């Protein structure tokens, strides 16, 4: 891409999405925190208060689903915007930008999990396959080895691996569509949805395949991509959503959150085939309503702290399980058991994860984000 063409790509910023990023990452943090508490105190699930909190906390893993929808939305919109403003889409520059954003933290986690910790701790052992991680196939390794490995912080990269697979596939696909200009984008999305539904129908009984396999989880990304394309084209249904009155917005949120909380019952058995698609529609609504809604009840981006935490949310997501892993081992060695550990573990994990993420953002991510500007803006 020439310098002149590159200068035409101005940064795109959808308000409130940084705050939503952190809320999604924090929900995953809460999910893992409660999982650890259950492991520490097996009998605590009998406590009525804890049981009530668990109903919500157990759905924290949906933060990953939200991330997938958001990625599909932003990447698709940005690719079409680049094509419109410059007359072309630079596949090479796109992949370089994604590499600068994704790879550093991803490979830091790999180095910690497969090199640093084995050298430092005699008791440390993992059966995860490092080669699967290096080649961004961590989600497939999670299907095979996840249940049999106690090193849970090596679980986090699975979703990043899926996103990297998507970035490569999606950018090449759109590059080809732009060159060929024969197939409609909506038709391609429809075909991919059908293939994903077919895959989920075949493997609906295999929980790990349904949750981790790229062909299964890609529905979130496809829904986000369709929303991003619709925003780019100023589709009428987008205008309808962002113009909803407040009471209708509240109603959609209430219905959406009820579906999230009751998903295990609503999508039991073979109905799990439809779970990701239905929930992805709700998450796409949240993205559109928060970033473009004209009558929003509340915009999370008004909380400046959440905006900052959203900027460091990639690090927050990637580091939180390492922090929890280390704290758990220190607690087992140095502290007596007791319920006082419940708030202590939460506070220490949260603060140390935020600190690690802030340091990482300042000294690793921010310089690389600045370098991305040489290859066009995102």
Contacts 24+ apart (CB under 8 A), 125-130: 125/151, 126/151, 126/154, 128/154
- pTM for the complete prediction? 0.94
Average confidence score pLDDT of the chain: 93
pLDDT in tens, 274-326: 999 999 999 999 999 999 999 999 999 999 999 999 999 999 999 999 999 99
Instruction: Give the confidence band of 6 by pLDDT, cuts at 50, 70, 90.
Output: very low
Do 297 and 249 touch, CB atoms closer than 8 A? yes
CA distance 14 to 350: 27
- Comparing C-alpha atoms, which of 303, 313, 352 is closest to residue 24? 313
CA distance 60 to 54: 10
Q: Which has more confidence, 126 or 287?
A: 287
Do 137 and 191 touch, CB atoms closer than 8 A? no
Do 357 and 310 touch, CB atoms closer than 8 A? no
CA distance 330 to 324: 10
Q: Between the CA of residue 341 and those of 31, 98, 146, what are the distances in Å? A: 17, 40, 27
Do 77 and 231 touch, CB atoms closer than 8 A? yes
Do 32 and 40 touch, CB atoms closer than 8 A? no
pLDDT in tens, 153-196: 788 999 999 999 999 999 999 999 998 877 789 999 999 999 99
User: Is the four-CA dihedral 348, 350, 351, 355 of positive or negative sign?
Assistant: positive
- Comparing C-alpha atoms, which of 171, 169, 187 is closest to residue 78? 171
Do 157 and 119 touch, CB atoms closer than 8 A? no
């Amino acid at each position: 891409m020439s310098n002149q063409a590159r200068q035409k790509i101005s940064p795109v910023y959808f308000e409130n999405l940084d705050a939503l990023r952190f809320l999604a990452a924090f929900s995953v943090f809460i999910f893992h925190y409660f999982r650890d508490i259950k492991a520490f105190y097996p009998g605590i699930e009998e406590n009525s208060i804890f049981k009530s909190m668990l109903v919500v906390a157990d759905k924290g893993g949906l933060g990953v689903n939200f991330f997938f929808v958001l990625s599909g939305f932003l990447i698709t919109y940005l690719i079409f915007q680049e094509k419109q403003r410059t007359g072309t889409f630079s596949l090479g520059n796109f992949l370089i930008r994604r590499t600068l954003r994704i790879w550093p933290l991803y490979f830091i986690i790999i180095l910690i999990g497969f090199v640093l910790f084995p050298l430092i701790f005699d008791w440390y052992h993992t059966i995860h396959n490092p080669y699967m991680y290096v080649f961004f196939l961590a989600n497939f390794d999670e299907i095979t080895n996840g249940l049999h490995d106690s090193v849970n912080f090596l679980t986090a990269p699975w979703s990043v691996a899926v996103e990297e697979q998507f970035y490569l596939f999606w950018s090449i696909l759109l590059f080809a569509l732009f060159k060929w200009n024969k197939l409609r984008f909506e038709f391609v999305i429809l075909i991919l949805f059908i293939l994903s539904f077919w895959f989920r129908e075949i493997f609906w009984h295999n929980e790990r395949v349904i949750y981790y396999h790229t062909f299964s989880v890609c529905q979130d990304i496809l829904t986000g991509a369709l929303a991003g394309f619709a925003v780019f084209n100023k589709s009428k249904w987008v205008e309808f959503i962002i113009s909803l009155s407040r009471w209708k917005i509240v109603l959609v949120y209430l219905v959406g959150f009820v579906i999230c909380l009751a998903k295990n019952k609503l999508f039991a058995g073979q109905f799990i085939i439809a779970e990701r698609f239905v929930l992805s529609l709700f998450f796409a609504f949240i993205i559109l309503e928060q970033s473009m809604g004209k009558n929003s009840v509340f915009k999370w981006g008004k909380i400046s702290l959440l905006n900052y935490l959203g900027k460091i949310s990639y690090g927050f997501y990637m580091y939180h399980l390492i922090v929890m892993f280390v704290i758990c081992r220190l607690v087992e060695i140095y502290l007596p058991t007791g319920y006082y550990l419940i708030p202590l573990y939460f506070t220490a994990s949260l603060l140390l994860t935020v600190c690690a993420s802030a340091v990482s953002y300042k000294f690793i991510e921010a310089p690389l984000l600045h370098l991305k500007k040489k290859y066009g803006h995102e």
